[in-house]
Copies of this chain bind each other. A is one copy, B any other.
Amino acid sequence: MMLPVSVRCQDSAATADARRVLSSLLSAGMKERGAYALLRELTREAPHRLSGSQGAARAVRLVQRMMDSLGFANVHREDIAVPHWERGAAERCTIVRSGARGIRLSVCALGGSVGTQTGGITAEVLEVRSFEELARAGDTARGKIIFFNRPMDASLVNTFEAYGGAVDQRFGGAAEAAKAGGVAALVRSMTLADDDVPHTGVMGYRDGVRKIPTAALGARSADRLSAMLHRSAMVTVRLVLRCQTLPDAPSANVVGEIAGSVHPENVIVISGHLDCWDKGEGAHDDGAGCVQALEALRLLQAAGVRPHQSIRVVLYMNEENGSRGGKGYAQDPRREKENHVALMESDRGGFAPRGFTVDGDSSLLSRVMRWQSLFDAVGAGTITQGGGGADISPMAQKGIPCFGLLPENQRYFDYHHSDNDTLDKVNPRELELGAIVEALLAYLLSESKI
């Protein structure tokens, strides 16, 4: 509920200025929908932007050109080396023994997985719901393909919480399966949608544990396989994956800014990550965050804002499988001459913004809460303590205040890391509102001492 301004805002002159800026942002942004136009270009020119890929290199060049044409200052790349994993041509999972012989399950390799030998891996399937259940299975797991089938908990309102409660299977399933003597790991996709689209995402091996191939099953394929296992004691599948990890590749974060008019050495960062998985177009994850950052700066320029401190866009590379961009930015020697005031990231999809998280102490939170009525006016008054985002967390660890855009989250995992994550799933108004929230927050941070 929107309380009267007087209840919440102590600094009324600053607030009056901020209201004028907000009005300009809305008037230009909601009519021009610049964020969506940029996203259309990004997803058309570089739909696949996995670290080390040609698409990622194309995206780096494209957004640098965008920043140049938008007239940002100090546009440059900051080089980093990134992991380079490739999916390869084939990925298949076929039932080879049981009543349903020959049936193909919908599957995709998890990012970082080793491939199978040429003929694939053929083995019996053992379904479990947790690492604990796998441990209890003991020797039964030996030689099997371990099928982790615990769904995200749909009863949780916050889908990120549901994701957090299931994603251990995706990240750590292969290592746990290998420790138990398994030969491969299949993981139910991290999704709440009722479809058969497999969702990829990063996995990790563990030192001293054999690397076995791992892949995600579409939710319906997971249900189907589970039903088969309940009908007949034994189901054998053949898993073929051609993925591989190549040597690290050169890549870059891309940076541009409006220089501060009073304290150019003080920097406020607005950011997203430029890389995405090689499924769909990374429209929500995180094309949305990238174009919102670009659009936020564009709108502030267009509104004639001359910020006291520098407002910078950083489009990080390699959030998905290594976070080298975020770490590289924090460690770059250029940072030594700069003073970062705050960083924000949008990496939770381009849905209608509901607020933002504040990563800092409670006094920071209460100072930011003074601005709540301004954000209420765009439906984004939910200001809550929480992490800002993976790319900016290395700067948060240095004690710098971080913020994360908090959009409506019900649909996010329907699209996340899958062929579903395409431009048509993004609403131009919802996307733009996120850019406006970021522009407003950057403006407020720039003009105030937080």
- Cα A410 to Cα B379 with chains together (Å): 10
Residues of B within 8 A of A372 (CB): 1
Q: Tell me if A433 counts as interface (CB < 8 A to partner B).
A: yes
A157 in contact with B433 (CB, 8 Å): yes
Q: How many copies does the complex hold?
A: 2
The 8 A CB mask of A207-226 against B (1 = contact, 0 = none) is 00000000000000000000
Q: How far is the CA of A30 from the CA of B151 in the complex (A)?
A: 13
Expressed in whole angstroms, the Cα–Cα distance for A377 and B408 within the complex equals 14
Q: Which residues of B contact A381 (CB under 8 A)?
A: 1
Residue-wise, chain A 114-153 has the 8 Å CB interface mask toward B (1 for contact) of: 0000000000000000000000000000000000000000
Whether B30 contacts A155 by the Cβ 8 Å rule is yes
Q: Tell which of A71-79, A284-292, A329-337, A424-432 binds the partner.
A: A424-432
Interface readout for A391-430 with B: 1 if CB under 8 Å, 0 if not? 0000000000000000010110010000000000001111
Q: How many residues from A make CB contacts under 8 Å with B?
A: 34
Contact with A154, one of B30, B157, B408, B430 (Cβ below 8 angstroms) = B30
Pair A352/B408 contact, Cβ less than 8 Å: yes
Give Cα distance in the complex from A217 to B154, angstroms. 41
Which residue in B156, B384, B410, B414 is a CB contact (below 8 Å) of A352? B410
Q: Is the CB of A192 within 8 A of B1?
A: no
Which residues of chain B are within 8 angstroms of A377 by Cβ–Cβ distance? 157
Q: Which B residues lie within 8 Å of A411 (CB)?
A: 427, 429-430
| Shortest Cβ distance from residue A1 to the other chain B in the assembled complex, whole angstroms | 5
| A436 and chain B: residue at smallest CB distance | B157
23 CB contacts below 8 A, A to B, read A1-B381, A1-B382, A1-B383, A1-B384, A2-B384, A26-B155, A26-B157, A27-B155, A30-B156, A30-B157, A157-B377, A157-B378, A157-B379, A157-B433, A192-B429, A352-B408, A354-B379, A408-B408, A410-B429, A410-B430, A410-B433, A411-B427, A414-B427
